[in-house]
Amino acid sequence: MSRLIRVELKNIFSKFDTKTSLIIFTTFGIIIGITNKVNNSLTCEGIFEWGLVLMLLISALGGLYISRDYTQNTIRNKIIVGHTRFSIYLSKQIAITSMYLVCSGLFMISTIVSNFIFIGTENLNKEALWIGLLVSIFVAITFSSITTFIAMSIKKETGGLMPLLVMFIMMMFSAMGTEFIDGKAIEIINDVVPTSQMMLLNLMNVDSHPIRHVLYSLLTSVMFFISGYAIFKKSDLN
């Protein structure tokens, strides 16, 4: 199991598109600080304004990584040599989650450092920043579980882009929900749906229920992991 996980981590971070994305996200974080300085915008809002777009792009990377393994029969070959389906799914999940965390982490760190260098911390809402970072980390884990679930369930080339499409639909739903719909039901949905959580962070207000959002993210991640593995366990790979 541990060897399979190491192989997956090595493979995903050695891909050209992954390495290129890491450089782009880091560079973009630096540019945000410079832009805030030019516009005299003394906040760190850029870290959350672009966080959702970042998640969409990473979902495409994760989906393509898994779909390539299906089209190249890598997953079937692993089963032939003796790896269990659980170990295969778990190693994929760990690899995708690690990519999400590293990509988003580099972007956030570079954004924060760039803002500190170019605009300082005098007007920074530190409580909102640190709580937002905590919530966004677990949101990234949820996104990774959804990406793995979709890509591992489809088992075709289209599985590479389906996570991006699903995330985009979720984002549009969240945008319409927060803008045009009121009521208790939509509040619960905004607490649970990861895209809604990221949109709420854009307001740069202190999250009044961070623990609740973290727990919802963990429960959603577990639900998609169990469902994805159940589908993968019964799927025909011939």
Q: What is the pLDDT of residues 20-75, one digit of tens each?
A: 989 998 998 888 878 877 776 656 556 777 777 888 888 888 888 888 888 888 88
Arithmetic mean of pLDDT, 231-237: 82
Greater confidence (9 vs 116) lies with 9
Name the percent of the chain lying above pLDDT 90: 17
- pLDDT grade, residue 185 (50/70/90)? low
Arithmetic mean of pLDDT, 11-22: 88
pTM metric for this prediction: 0.86
Question: 204: left (phi > 0), else alpha (psi -120 to 50), else beta?
Answer: left
Arithmetic mean of pLDDT, 158-182: 70
Q: Of the segments 91-105, 153-167, 177-191, which one has the largest average pLDDT value?
A: 91-105
pLDDT at 203 over 60: no
Looking at residue 183, what is its pLDDT? 58
- pLDDT grade, residue 228 (50/70/90)? very high
Question: Which residues form the domain of 189?
Answer: 2-234
The answer to whether 111 touches 33, Cβ cutoff 8 Å, is yes
Other beta carbons within 10 Å of 37:
16
Which residues are CB-neighbours of 163 under 8 A, at least 6 positions away? 59, 60, 62, 63, 146, 147, 150, 151
Alpha helices in 81-209 (DSSP H): 85-118, 126-154, 162-180, 184-192, 194-201
The answer to whether 220 touches 192, Cβ cutoff 8 Å, is yes
pLDDT at 229 over 70: yes
Provide the domain count of the chain. 1
- pLDDT grade, residue 202 (50/70/90)? low
d(CA 231, CA 51): 30
- pLDDT grade, residue 162 (50/70/90)? confident
